[in-house]
Structure 1
Amino acid sequence: MIRAATAAALLLSAGGALAQTHAPAAPAAVTVALHPAIDRPSTVFEGWGTALAWFANVTGGWPDAERQRLADLFYGPDGLGWTIARYNIGGGNSAETPPYLRQGAAVPGFWRRPSGATCKDWWRADDEAVWDWSQDTNQRWWLDAISARVKHPIFEAFSNSPPWFMTVSGRVSGAEARTDENLRPGQEGAFAAYLARSVDELQRRHRIGFRTLSPVNEPNTDYWYAANTQEGAHWSPARQAAMIDATHAALQTRGLKTTVAAPDETNALLFAADWAGYPPATRARIGQLNVHSYGTTHQTAVRDIARAAGIRLWMSEDDTPLEKDAEDFTGMATPLAFAEHVVMDLKRLEPSAWVFWQAVEHLSTLKGGKGSNWGLVKADLLAGPTGTHPIHVTRKYYAMAQFSRFIRPGYRLVPIDDLDTAGALSADRRTLVLVHVNAGITPRRLVLPRGWTARMLVTDATRNVACASGTTAPPRAIVTLILTRRPGGEPCPGTAPPR
């Protein structure tokens, strides 16, 4: 003990010279060569987006300056530049059911129960008196806001649950048991008519087009039960097929160009099981395959299913907060995990689109505790529609920007041999975008293909989509390399963070 103290005193008296002499050197950069297969046939990418439920059901009713700012953050040219939105056709509980769904999740349905009706059999699709097109004004505000910002938006409608009067339990959150089906027997046609008419009316009233309609969501799971806090319903593969057939028929009956998207399964493993249970005729009625990526097993199997069937594939829902990472607007742990997940989805699924779950999530620390890092923007979703609503743009938002600002609609996904890098090539083949995630503590010297001039943008603990010199990825960083065939390149793009 005495000797250790004496040694420490000598170091201090020498002005730290000895300590400085023995300080660890900066780690040498690890060299990573990036070899894109730009001549291989690959997926044409359609864009990025989000589901509007549930945050749009709240924020669409906020003061105009606040909701306009949010729309700019996601769909504006100086924001994320998203071009896709998934609109949730709500089921809706009965007026007698006490509120129990989480903030924003009680999306209204477009039905009106006649006075005095006490049973579940009062609804008729051809009876105008049981429709109510004044509902869901908040989420519908977002349809108009997106149309005003995006030249050619892609809209998809999706359902989480049938309306309460079509269910077994009388609740839109599921049956009493987790693996029981909640759509009443024989109600496929009525539910399909409800969805198709909703699509038809929304298209006409908002002057938009829904390219696809997804009638079931994460169907073959044990997530949904009556006491749950969000809309949901369990569907076996056979019942999914019946619902897909009914939805296709209802869209055809109304003369709509909208096609069916399915099965919107929670992960690739269950997607493959669902697909295996569909008859050939049902498969032929699907215009788009949707899969979520809340699990990464069997993703290339889904890719191959889509290729063999010749059907467009979307990664239609995901968010990836790092488990047990406390709510943090500026930290890099969750943004890095999120970016790694996006890279691997693009590489393994090779989807035509990548769609976020909830762009705005509730401030999860308001009631104490550590909270979580779901969402790209945080706000108090329990606050009333009036007053002010502080908007917190997180570092994860900028992790998303590293992809969506630069891999644009019309680009082709390009296979890259490095596991931490995703790539895309512009339609004119003159711009190659590479997004690389360095989650480690050592810099990575990225060796680029010959004949390209590179510009690099970085998001790390101190920078948000900021220009950086060279082609070395800093530790704990997400970098986007914009490669062009033009010598000298152009000024670094996309550096101004949205206000």
Structure 2
Amino acid sequence: MLRPIFVAAAFLATTALPAGAQEQTVAVTLRPALDRPSTTFEGWGTALAWFADVTGGWPAAERERLADLFYGRDGLGWTIARYNIGGGNAAGTPPYLRPGGAIPGFWRQPRGTEGRDWWRADDPAMWDWSQDRRQRWWLDAIRDRVRVPIFEAFSNSPPWFMTVSGRVSGADRATDDNLRPGFENVFATYLARSVAELQRRHRITFRTLSPMNEPNTDYWFAANKQEGAHWSPARQAAMIDATDAALRAERLTTVVAAPDETNSVLFLSDWSAYPAATRARIGQLNIHSYGTIHQTGVRDAARAAGIRLWMSENDAPLDRDPENVEGMASPLAMAEHIVLDLKRLEPAAWVFWQAVEDLSTRNGAKGSNWGLVKADLRAADDAAHAIRVTRKYWAMAQFSRYIRPGDRLLAVDDLDTVGALSPDGSRLVLVHVNPGLNPRRLLPPAGWRGSMVVTDATHNATCVAGMTAPARSVATLVLHRGNPPSLPCRRAGVSTVTEDRDFAP
């Protein structure tokens, strides 16, 4: 979730050559390991918190446009969504969470009850399934756009009455666990029952349920602006055990995903503390990549355990890069981060944090470059909402439109390139990031021919002639053996799709 990104601000979008200057082109040979066994990729997506809680209540034309931008066949072609089961603060709590951050829970407190010990999961009167309609609109929108969607449910915090502090934003001290002692089974029942009911009401399937988010950190404290909770490794293990049991009690096919740790160092610390029986109850390992140290250790832990690995949350704008919808500094930082994540973690999925972030519209102050689309998240539902598509969106398109579910990730000997091969071996995709000032002439492996798509300061995922990646660009080579078939081309958001497999979700 939102926190500083440790990326050096070496040079920003203002970097430019003197007038009339032209840097020499450098040749880069790309050698993908076509025969090396690797991960079968499942797709790209986003967490729906918190932007979905805001935009799901916007006028139909605006929210439909956003859904098309991310999940439409002419958009990013995403196939994965992470739905946030809210905890929810007590009624009457003065608003203090960030826009969209106050995700309502599915509980109802009966009149006349006081304290925190009133809730009973087996009492239908204590559930309120009318809650969270805005985020839930997105479940239907994605279901209707994606042929085979993958849904994951996740939790940031227990409901207020299950917490020590009485706040869903964390304990009074950031290093204290905030779930009340002995409440693992109660909270697990709340999550599993929510999954079951949402599945029934929205005609979807949650493949996984992640009961904790970035648990072993010092991010979460009572005065924080978002939901969160600290969990020691021992409490994590108890919660994983309880969640698995609750899902089985509901007779769901949903399995536990964990630990959704913020970086690989903490992931390995958590994982090393889990008993063998707890590890066996995990159906998917989730890691966030807000740090890149020890990523191959996480990859190896997943391989050794035989458990699918997701990179389940990241956004990577360049540190100290002020909001700039057209700039290339943050798009390049994000693209380079994606390449390294795919090379080092070799995950089955790469999931963005929050696709829509707040646009700087007040006081003239510049915000950040978080998000792929910027919009005024503080405006009233019935207001007109300016929707600004950033170049980060187009940089993401360089990956998600071409590396598709079912493709096999490939090792490539160039540090700035990631590769993927289609299931039948006929289609090779190479995504290359050129962050420097020299154009790069990309040399694909012998026998492969095709087209190149580019995002840079003047192109938005546009087909260009040749195989030279301009300076400060993200370039995607779409290659076939021998003579390639007619390939799809994108120009500034206008689609000329000719192959269903390339972009159909």
TM-score (norm 2): 0.93
Partner Cα separation in structure 1 for residue 322 and residue 197 of structure 2: 43
1:316 is aligned to 312
Over 3 Å counting, the alpha-carbon distance change for 1:44 and 1:294 in structure 2 is: same
| Contact 1:73 1:498 (C-alpha < 8 Å) held by counterparts | no
Work out the number of aligned pairs and report it: 478
Partner Cα separation in structure 2 for residue 453 and residue 493 of structure 1: 15
Structure 1, unaligned runs of 5 or more: 1-21
Q: Residue 25 of structure 1: CA displacement?
A: 5.9
What one-letter code is carried by the residue in structure 2 that aligns with 1:95? Answer: A
1:442 is aligned to 438
Over 3 Å counting, the alpha-carbon distance change for 1:86 and 1:23 in structure 2 is: closer
Bigger Rg, structure 1 or 2: 1
| Contact 2:361 2:376 (C-alpha < 8 Å) held by counterparts | no
Are 1:358 and 2:354 matched, yes or no? yes
What one-letter code is carried by the residue in structure 1 that aligns with 2:150? Answer: I
Q: Residue 208 of structure 1: CA displacement?
A: 0.3
| Contact 1:458 1:464 (C-alpha < 8 Å) held by counterparts | yes
Partner Cα separation in structure 1 for residue 249 and residue 233 of structure 2: 24
1:369 is aligned to 365
Partner Cα separation in structure 2 for residue 491 and residue 350 of structure 1: 27
Over 3 Å counting, the alpha-carbon distance change for 1:304 and 1:175 in structure 2 is: same
Q: Residue 428 of structure 1: CA displacement?
A: 0.7
Aligned to 1:26, which of 22, 29, 51? 22
Are 1:415 and 2:414 matched, yes or no? no
Q: Residue 23 of structure 1: CA displacement?
A: 8.9
SS of the counterpart of 2:489?
Answer: coil
* Deviation beyond 3 Å, 4+ runs, structure 1: 22-25
1:17 is aligned to none
Deviations 1:350-392 (A, max 9, x none): 0000000000000135233221100000000000110211100
Partner Cα separation in structure 2 for residue 365 and residue 236 of structure 1: 40
2:427 is aligned to 431
Aligned to 2:106, which of 106, 110, 114? 110
Structure 2, unaligned runs of 5 or more: 1-17, 496-505
Aligned to 2:465, which of 469, 475, 478? 469
Partner Cα separation in structure 2 for residue 455 and residue 496 of structure 1: 17
Aligned to 1:122, which of 118, 125, 131? 118
SS of the counterpart of 1:275?
Answer: helix
Q: Residue 492 of structure 1: CA displacement?
A: 4.2
2:38 is aligned to 42
| Contact 2:459 2:492 (C-alpha < 8 Å) held by counterparts | no
Q: Please tell me the root mean square deviation across aligned C-alpha atoms, in Å.
A: 1.3
2:174 is aligned to 178
Are 1:267 and 2:299 matched, yes or no? no
1:480 is aligned to 476
1:98 is aligned to 94
Bigger mean CA deviation after superposition, 155-164 or 439-448? 439-448
What one-letter code is carried by the residue in structure 2 that aligns with 1:128? Answer: P
Aligned to 1:147, which of 119, 132, 143? 143
| Contact 2:409 2:419 (C-alpha < 8 Å) held by counterparts | yes
Superposed, 1:310-349 pairs within 5 Å as 310-349=306-345
Over 3 Å counting, the alpha-carbon distance change for 1:454 and 1:289 in structure 2 is: same
| Contact 1:78 1:496 (C-alpha < 8 Å) held by counterparts | no
| Contact 2:212 2:259 (C-alpha < 8 Å) held by counterparts | yes
Deviations 1:255-281 (A, max 9, x none): 000000000000111000000010000
Partner Cα separation in structure 1 for residue 461 and residue 370 of structure 2: 20
SS of the counterpart of 2:151?
Answer: strand
Q: Residue 247 of structure 1: CA displacement?
A: 0.1
Are 1:387 and 2:414 matched, yes or no? no
Partner Cα separation in structure 2 for residue 110 and residue 25 of structure 1: 61
What one-letter code is carried by the residue in structure 1 that aligns with 2:321? Answer: D
Superposed, 1:150-169 pairs within 5 Å as 150-169=146-165
Partner Cα separation in structure 1 for residue 464 and residue 37 of structure 2: 32
| Contact 1:454 1:471 (C-alpha < 8 Å) held by counterparts | no
Partner Cα separation in structure 2 for residue 368 and residue 297 of structure 1: 37
Are 1:61 and 2:61 matched, yes or no? no
Are 1:456 and 2:459 matched, yes or no? no
Partner Cα separation in structure 2 for residue 220 and residue 408 of structure 1: 33
Q: Residue 498 of structure 1: CA displacement?
A: 5.8
Aligned to 2:212, which of 190, 194, 216? 216
SS of the counterpart of 1:494?
Answer: strand
Q: Residue 495 of structure 1: CA displacement?
A: 3.5
TM-score (norm 1): 0.94
Partner Cα separation in structure 1 for residue 173 and residue 200 of structure 2: 39
